[in-house]
Structure 1
Amino acid sequence: MPREIRINAFDMNCVGHIQQGLWTHPRDQSARYRDIHYWTDYARRLEAGLFDGIFFADVLGVYDVLGGSPDAAVRGAVQVPVNDPMLLIPAMAAATTHLGFGVTANLTYEPPYAFARRMSTLDHLTGGRIGWNIVTGYLDSAARAVGLTGQPAHDDRYDLADEYMALVYQLWEGSWEDGAVLRDRDRGVYADPARVHVVHHHGKQYRVDAMHLSEPSPQRTPVLYQAGSSARGSRFAATHAECVFLNGQSQPAVQKIVHGIRSQAMEQGRAADDVQVFLGATIVTGRSDAQAQEKFAEYQRYASSEAALVHAAASLGIDFSRYDIDEPVDTGKSQAIVSNVEAMTRAAGPQWTRRKLLEQMVLGSRQPPWVGSADAIADKLVDWSEQAGVDGFNLARTVVPECFDDFIALVVPRLQERGAYKTAYAAGTLRGKLFGRDRLPGTHPAARQRVNPGPRPG
């Protein structure tokens, strides 16, 4: 019996997300991203399909690496304009009961004290269904937008992130004890001040002397997502992450990364199953292989190779306009997403070129789609789960909402027939659904910040 596969929708509060150019397809509705009803309907669709959650990407800068200008990004709606994903979540949560929400927030540009309150607020409002995708940024344009001359070096960003995590763990886990909130109407005592503590953090990057402003939320600490698979990113994930997002890798490469992260987590005293891995995937399916291929060919007519190159240039940190079509690309010491550069090198070889990159962009991104009948896609998902050890998939949109409607109507029943997909939601928080507990386990570094360590509910 295969294990249960977890599924998230992967999206962004913008027009063009991963598969560039498909917003021009006449059936695509992504240009409605400014309409709250678009998002609440979206949430209901995903919950009807028993999706575990929606995973929101986000960026604070613009893609201006290609040609040193944002013009192509603006022209092709390559993740610009982009709105704040956090503001969507309360409305989507109110329209659903079980759907989880993973939201990206860049800790480099978020003051930790205010951010901790915002996440606690979302955890309260969603009934414990919030997760945080921890990112450190990769765009110089974002650094300039917040008043810096440029982003810190790749590994330096992770050093800052370790301190940031230590601070927010103190706020979420250590400021308010369990039982501090009394809500005693007769005595007029809402909370016991003796059980609410001021956090004193004096670090290299941050200094805070304050109590957390929010009372304990259902999960206290949000479910922790992280997407780094570079050597430094993997170490960070092994320490902090509960859910790791991988992308653009071959099955043997993913299996190696999964094994490496779980081994590192165990070396730090965590259990192997404390970390779940989600693989990015783009799916085009139909009732038959021929129908799926016909749909794929239709989608290809709307994909934009220029917009895809804009996105790739920014995420790889390389201006491809400086290279002829067959000139070997010098990856140098990119400070962008190092794991993307490593993945591209594995896929195209050490002497890859702009032509090789464009050949991979068959649907407007570097992520090749999986195209096939519902049975073929179900088989592929189960195979990846069993052979590579991944727990689930983040499904990037193509033409919305039909891409998710197709998956729900066609693939979900096939997975259920194989015993590889739930037939109903479990009750409780997002962490409860994923791991069977509402709180982080005692082996997680956040647990060391609890005032009275020991058994806790969840």
Structure 2
Amino acid sequence: MAREIRINAFDMNCIGHIQQGLWTHPRDQSTQYRNIHYWTKLAKKLEEGLFDGVFFADVLGAYDVYGGNVDATLKGAVQLPVNDPSLLIPAMAAATTHLGFGVTCNLTYEPPFSFARRMSTLDHLTGGRIGWNIVTGYLDSAARATGLSGQMAHDDRYDLAEEYMSLVYKLWEGCWEDDAVVNDRERRIYADPAKVHRVLHDGRQYKVDALHLAEPSPQRTPVLYQAGSSTRGRLFAATHAECVFVNGQSMSGVRAIVDDIRGQAVKLGRQASDIGVFMGATIITGRTEAEAREKFEDYKAHVDVEAALVHASASMGIDFAKYEMDEPIQTGNTQAIVSNVEAMTRTAGPTWTKRKLIEQMVLGSRQAPLVGSAEQVADALMAWTENADVDGFNLSRTVTPECFEDFIELVVPILQERGVYKTAYRDGVYREKLFGHARLPQSHTAAQYRHGA
């Protein structure tokens, strides 16, 4: 039986997300990001297309690496302005029944106690449809904005994250027993005090003595996303993640990352099937290849190369404004997204230039677009799932919302005909729809923090 392909919309509560400059296209509606009806309308459209979820990116801090300032960032709306994505979710959930929500929250600058309550609240309000994309950040500007002199070293951020995860697991999984809430009006007892347990944590980074303020939500712990592909990031994903977000320029490169993460997870006592892998994809499609190519050329006319360099500078920790077009780039020891630098080096060789980088950013980002007829797109997605062992795709927006509408109208019916895309949603919470169970399995590291474990 063919594997069912999972699909998320990959979006952000801002104007310019990944494909820089496309907000200037006359049909693009991303400047409506401040309007709640824009988001509820999108949620309804995605659910009509049976998308598994919407995956919200986010950043804390402004992109100020390029040129040492934010001038080009502001001109190009490169993820600035950007609003809080978590506040969109209750409204989008109220407009839908099944759509899942993966939200990026940076644990480096979030107290775990209050963050755990917010996730539980969202899980309650959505009926168990919340997921968390675990990030540790990569911007010095975010550290400075929160009162620090600069961000922690790359691997140190993962050490912090390990302790953070143990603490939120204690709050979500260990504080309230499943039958703690009795809701007995006659006896005037809402919760049994004997079944609510104080969380005590005395660690290197955090000291907590508290009760989790929220009663158990449908999933307890949200579905756990993670997007690290560096060596340290893969170990973290193998330990904690249920859904891993990867990017890649080649099937063999993505397959190596997927095999490594799943192999490490198995060594830790998990099942390979405990981890679903979503690959980033930019799709431009039409009824024919010629129609798709025409649309692609139309989109390309709106690409903002300088804005693309702004985003690349921030994500790689390299100020490309300092370099001439053919001057070799000095990568050094970056504290930004290490896997992005590694990926560029694999693609262009150890000595690469700004010109080579720009050549890759044909649509305003390094994510190479998939351009073709709906049949060609379906063929390509099926080939990726078979050859790279990915489970699904996070579809980056180009011109919104037509990029999602095109996929739903043209590609989804073909995938359904081929038996690789659902024709109806399964019942249950987000985790049940993805993995068949509502709570984290006993093989997950969080299980050790459950009461009586």
Q: Shared fold (TM-score greater than 0.5)?
A: yes
Query: CA offset at residue 2 of structure 1?
Result: 2.1
Q: Which residue in the other structure is 2:29 paired with? A: 29
Q: Which residue in the other structure is 1:338 paired with? A: 338
TM-score, scaled relative to structure 1: 0.98
Secondary structure in structure 2 of the residue aligned to 1:404: helix
Query: CA offset at residue 248 of structure 1?
Result: 3.1
Contact 2:27 2:399 (C-alpha < 8 Å) held by counterparts: yes
* Residues 1:155 and 2:137 are matched in the alignment: no
Contact 1:2 1:420 (C-alpha < 8 Å) held by counterparts: yes
* Residues 1:205 and 2:210 are matched in the alignment: no
Equivalent residues in 2 for 1:33-182, closer than 5 Å: 33-182=33-182
Secondary structure in structure 2 of the residue aligned to 1:101: strand
* Residues 1:228 and 2:228 are matched in the alignment: yes
Q: Distance in 2 between matches of 1:439 and 1:361?
A: 40
| 1:58-110 Cα distance to aligned partner (Å, 9 max, x none) | 00111110110111000100000000000000000000000000000000000
Secondary structure in structure 2 of the residue aligned to 1:233: helix
Q: Distance in 2 between matches of 1:60 and 1:74?
A: 15
Contact 1:175 1:211 (C-alpha < 8 Å) held by counterparts: yes
Q: Which residue in the other structure is 2:417 paired with? A: 417
Query: CA offset at residue 249 of structure 1?
Result: 3.4
**Structure 1 residues 346-355 or 40-49, which shifts more?**
346-355
Unaligned runs of 5+ in 1: 454-458
Equivalent residues in 2 for 1:186-197, closer than 5 Å: 186-197=186-197
Contact 1:285 1:407 (C-alpha < 8 Å) held by counterparts: yes
Query: CA offset at residue 250 of structure 1?
Result: 1.4
Q: Distance in 1 between matches of 2:338 and 2:433?
A: 32
Work out the number of aligned pairs and report it: 453
Query: CA offset at residue 309 of structure 1?
Result: 0.5
Q: Match of 1:179, as an amino acid?
A: D
Q: Distance in 1 between matches of 2:149 and 2:210?
A: 30
Q: Distance in 2 between matches of 1:345 and 1:248?
A: 12
Q: Distance in 2 between matches of 1:200 and 1:70?
A: 43
Cα root mean square deviation, aligned: 0.6
Q: Which residue in the other structure is 2:438 paired with? A: 438
Q: Which residue in the other structure is 1:242 paired with? A: 242
Contact 1:2 1:386 (C-alpha < 8 Å) held by counterparts: no
Contact 1:313 1:319 (C-alpha < 8 Å) held by counterparts: yes
Query: CA offset at residue 165 of structure 1?
Result: 0.1
Q: Match of 2:394, as an amino acid?
A: N
| 1:397-452 Cα distance to aligned partner (Å, 9 max, x none) | 00011000000000000101111100000011000000000000001111111113
Q: Which residue in the other structure is 1:356 paired with? A: 356
Query: CA offset at residue 172 of structure 1?
Result: 0.1
Q: Distance in 1 between matches of 2:207 and 2:250?
A: 43
Q: Distance in 2 between matches of 1:292 and 1:249?
A: 21
Q: Which residue in the other structure is 1:456 paired with? A: none
Q: Distance in 2 between matches of 1:184 and 1:214?
A: 18
Q: Which 4+ residue blocks in structure 1 deviate beyond 6 angstroms?
A: none
Secondary structure in structure 2 of the residue aligned to 1:132: strand
Q: Distance in 1 between matches of 2:348 and 2:98?
A: 41
Unaligned runs of 5+ in 2: none
Among the aligned pairs, what percent are the same residue? 73
Contact 2:249 2:367 (C-alpha < 8 Å) held by counterparts: no
Q: Distance in 2 between matches of 1:337 and 1:361?
A: 17
Q: Distance in 2 between matches of 1:190 and 1:452?
A: 22
Query: CA offset at residue 348 of structure 1?
Result: 1.1
Equivalent residues in 2 for 1:300-379, closer than 5 Å: 300-379=300-379
Q: Match of 1:336, as an amino acid?
A: A
Q: Distance in 1 between matches of 2:322 and 2:283?
A: 33
Contact 1:2 1:382 (C-alpha < 8 Å) held by counterparts: no
Contact 1:107 1:134 (C-alpha < 8 Å) held by counterparts: yes
Q: Which residue in the other structure is 1:256 paired with? A: 256
Q: Which residue in the other structure is 2:404 paired with? A: 404
